[in-house]
Structure 1
């Protein structure tokens, strides 16, 4: 079972986050997202989808 729908959308920029959970591992399994980037996620979207690489790099 792969990632679908809302789980594929970065909660910060709204673009595809390229998450591969459920498909043998994902790039996001081995990355630490800084607190200041996590703080940018709207309250209603926290814990629902991965932040994309571009936003992690842009706001870190």
Structure 2
């Protein structure tokens, strides 16, 4: 028997994902745009999300940016 993923926790590491959209659903209070709207999610990160959590729980900033390549240095 599996349980539904917690939409407030990252499905990769289990830490809080700080999702503004979920916070707005929980509280009914308008939130500023979520941090995730300014981050590019690499395919490798998205592929690691367990099937049962896809589209149900957001990845946290740390997991989202861990796989992002650093910009080339000049």
What TM-score, normalized to structure 2?
A: 0.65
Kindly indicate whether residue 15 of structure 2 is the aligned counterpart of residue 15 of structure 1: yes
Structure 1: gaps spanning 5 or more residues: none
Helix, strand or coil at the partner of 1:11: coil
Cα RMSD of the aligned pairs, angstroms, is 1.7
Runs of 4+ aligned residues of structure 1 deviating over 6 Å after TM superposition are: none
Give the number of equivalent residue pairs.
56
1:57/1:30 CA distance change after superposition, 3 Å: closer
2:43 maps to which residue? 35
Structure 2: gaps spanning 5 or more residues: 25-30, 69-74
Map Cα deviations across residues 2-47 of structure 1 (whole Å, 9 max, x no partner): xxx9221101001100111132311112222010000010000011
